């Protein structure tokens, strides 16, 4: 099966030469989302909690465009510019995955596009 490119206007447009997501067989590989408002393309105001909420909202929009939900996520990778914010990010993250959370890796990075504090990418299964 040929990979299918996924795009929705309910999530921010890519800030570089990549797709919002790609479906390959029974998996959906979602590019990392940063906390951009889909309507304005601007970074949302606030700290790590507000940014994490927006990122997860963007991910849910990409998933919904393919008829699936956050419960289909099997793996996440969280990129943070400051691991001192780990606990606050986890509080927000846990609300999206109250039962059977996916496998996850979290890493600190030097910087993220547009000054974001957090980026999350996911893999979902149909």
pTM exceeds 0.85 for this model? yes
Q: Residue 69 is encoded by which pair of tokens? A: 């939900």
Give residue-wise pLDDT tens across range 18-59.
Answer: 999 999 999 999 999 999 999 999 999 999 999 999 999 999
Give residue-wise pLDDT tens across range 65-76.
Answer: 999 999 999 999
Query: Which of 53, 49, 68, 48 is closest to 6 using CA atoms?
Result: 68
Q: What is the pLDDT, as a whole number, of residue 1?
A: 80
CA distance linking residue 97 with residue 59, whole number of Å: 13
Domains and CATH numbers, the chain: 4-125 (3.30.1330.40)
């Amino acid at each position: 099966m040929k990979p299918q490119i996924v795009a929705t206007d309910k999530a921010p447009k890519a800030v570089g030469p990549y797709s919002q997501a790609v479906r390959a067989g029974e998996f959906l590989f979602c590019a990392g989302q940063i906390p951009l408002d889909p309507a304005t393309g601007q970074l949302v105001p606030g700290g790590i909690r507000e940014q994490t909420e927006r990122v997860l909202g963007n991910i849910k929009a990409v998933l919904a465009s393919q008829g699936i939900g956050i419960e289909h996520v099997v793996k996440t990778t969280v990129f943070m510019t400051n691991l001192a914010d780990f606990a606050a990010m986890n509080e927000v993250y846990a609300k999206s995955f109250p039962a059977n959370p996916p496998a996850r890796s979290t890493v600190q990075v030097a910087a993220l596009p547009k000054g974001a504090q957090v980026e999350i990418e996911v893999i979902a299964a149909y």
